Chain A
Amino acid sequence: QLQLQESGPGLVRPSETLSLTCTVSGGSVTTSDHHWGWIRQPPGKGLQWIGTVFFTGSTSYNPPLSSRVTISIDRSKNQFSLNLNSLSAADTAVYYCARKGRGGYYYTYWGQGLLVTVSS
């Protein structure tokens, strides 16, 4: 059974960079059939797609966030990561990592989520 687990800081200061890692178990990030993504949810609000990465390293980002986001993949550790810079309070959210369905625009497997608070 595929499992994903987010890790990283729960508190980050404004203007700093957030770095999160998603560790995949029960499957490989090198599969050619799936993309791996990050999605966030501000407290009490809806979901927002951040971006995805393919095993080749190819990425797609949500345009409003693209200038601040980098998603990368580490095949040797079976992980993928999110870097989000120039943080503000608006970036406070639960951050989820997830795996896309084969060839689709939907997410079939999700991590449990990690609450990240941006505050001084």
Chain B
Amino acid sequence: QSALTQPASVSGSPGQSITISCTGTSSDIGNFNLVSWYQQYPGEAPKLIVYEVTNRPSGVSNRFSGSKSGNTASLTISGLQAEDEADYHCSSYSTTYLQVFGPGTKVTVL
């Protein structure tokens, strides 16, 4: 059950900026500013990096930024670093499922 759509992989060189998209519908992303993003390293639990579309928890680098347009939310990682190589999951409130996640995007630093 992945009601949200994400690209399977995104890559970039150190120092570059990359953007990961997360597409939903009017039942989730389109009508609610309740999108969150998680970073997950292999074998570890997810870590919250963005909530309510644009907010960053304390301690999260300002190189991570979130945005939304219509039914699509985006996570931008600027000044890409080797430590950013991980899986990134989006999530949203949903009127159908209450909470949905995307399938995850693997970020590779070239």
Question: A106 touching B2 by the CB < 8 A rule?
Answer: no
- Asked if B101 and A48 make an inter-chain contact with CB atoms under 8 angstroms apart, the answer reads yes
Interface centre among B98, B99, B102, by most chain A C-beta atoms within 10 angstroms, is: B99
On chain A, which size bracket covers the interface? Answer: 20 to 34
Distance (whole angstroms) from the CB of B103 to the closest CB of chain A: 4
- B72 CB-CB contact with A under 8 Å: no
- Residue A63 at the B interface, CB < 8 A? yes
Q: Contact: B99 with A105, CB < 8 Å?
A: yes
Q: How far apart are the CA atoms of A60 and B18 in the complex, in Å?
A: 35
Distance in angstroms between the alpha carbons of A64 and B96 in the assembled complex: 10
**Residues on B with beta carbons closer than 8 Å to the beta carbon of A105:** 34, 36, 91-93, 99
Which residues in B have some Cβ–Cβ distance to A below 8 Å?
Answer: 1-2, 34, 36, 38, 44-48, 51-52, 57, 89, 91-93, 96-104
